[in-house]
Amino acid sequence: MPANLTADFLKARKELRAAKDTQAKLAALEKMLATIPKHKGTDHMQADIKRRIAKLKEEQGKSSHHKGPQLDHIEREGAGQVVLLGPPNSGKSSLIAALTNAHAEVADYPYSTVLPLPGMMAFADVQIQLVDLPPISAEYSEPWLYSLVRQADLCLLTLDGSLEVEELIDAVEEIILLLEERHIRLVQQREETEEEMRVRDVPCRIVLTRGDFGELTAQVEELSDLFPVIVTSPVDGIGLEALREGVFAALNVIRVYTKLPGKPADMVEPYVLPAGSTALDAVATVHRDFVDRLKYIRVWGSGRFDGQQVPTTHELADKDIIEIHLS
């Protein structure tokens, strides 16, 4: 029997995926439970939502007594949260050190990273959070690591570019299998589907370290069948700008700037919204109270002409400027 999910349910599920803390996740799940159609076709989904609500409430209760560091959750910052995942000695820590202000321990021996290490990477006028994770392999991986991958907006599957093609493919397939066993599926782009709620799709890009593009043609061609590939050499600075651009593009977000009537636009700190956001979404992001007081919106960028008055349903594009008029 088809689920026939309602618009309110799909909106609540979108809120869940964007939730940054336990309280927001609980609110979204409870809204999903209230709006999901009640029939046999959704019995399994209803049970899964109830299970997740119960689990979050249990974790919420435990967190009030937790004294040590919380390893399975890192607060999201910036335009998105990106985890670096890979086998031992794949070059993750070198990337973090080259791209962020985090003090990563770079060593030639495996398992030098034992805790999640967040840092902020600059791209144009936004900051993107990168999180260096401990190595993952069939022999051993930290159990809390999978929770961090599950909550991420993007996974950078980091591999040693000096390895042979067969070794690289084996490493990718091994990691894919380990994640799928924990109900995490790496995809090129996350899509809105009516899948089982337990499966979490995480967009993925492959990053090859320790090489230049000319030397890695065969590796790039083979791995590109799985995910888009970015070649880097953190020590020499090769490919770092392409990596920044690729990460921002993969996050599937847009930057929206604001201006006051008669004043120049503030082009320093944009608001970051999911791609496909409307003019009304942008107004709500600037301030929730503005939605009720809204008279009209003008847009520079994606309108037919600069300063055009647009409907609230107008879909914004990256680098649009909006001017909000209130009653």
* CATH number where 282 lies: 3.10.20.30
Same-domain pairing of 189 and 201: yes
Final residue before a domain boundary, out of 218, 251, 284 = 251
Neighbours of 77 (CB within 10 A): 13
- Collapsing DSSP to helix, strand or coil, 44 comes out as helix
Residue 49 lies in a domain: yes
Residue 72 lies in a domain: no
> Residue 122 has which token pair?
């600059």
Query: Contact at 8 Å (CB) between 10 and 192?
Result: yes
pLDDT in tens, 231-274: 998 888 889 999 999 999 999 999 999 999 889 998 988 999 99
Same-domain pairing of 92 and 236: yes
DSSP 23: H
Provide the pLDDT confidence category of residue 123 given band limits of 50, 70 and 90.
very high
pLDDT in tens, 182-202: 999 999 988 765 555 678 999
Residue 70 lies in a domain: no
pLDDT at 215 over 80: no
Q: What is the pLDDT, as a whole number, of residue 67? A: 47
Range of the domain at 124: 81-251
SS (H, E, C) 47-115: HHHHHHHHHHHHHHHHHCCCCCCCCCCCCCCECCEEEEECCCCCCHHHHHHHHECCCCCCCCCCCCCCC
Same-domain pairing of 139 and 242: yes
| Mean pLDDT, residues 205-220 taken together | 78
Residue 2 lies in a domain: no
Residue 73 lies in a domain: no
Final residue before a domain boundary, out of 225, 251, 277 = 251
Q: At what angle do helices 22-35 and 7-18 cross, to 10 degrees?
A: 170
Residue 176 lies in a domain: yes
Same-domain pairing of 50 and 116: no
Final residue before a domain boundary, out of 217, 251, 285 = 251
pLDDT in tens, 30-45: 888 888 888 777 788 8
DSSP 291: H
Q: Is 132 buried (19+), middle (13-18) or exposed (0-12) by CB count in 10 A? A: buried
Return mean pLDDT, the chain.
86
* CATH number where 187 lies: 3.40.50.300
Same-domain pairing of 113 and 186: yes
Residue 35 lies in a domain: yes
Question: How many distinct structural domains can be found in the chain?
Answer: 3
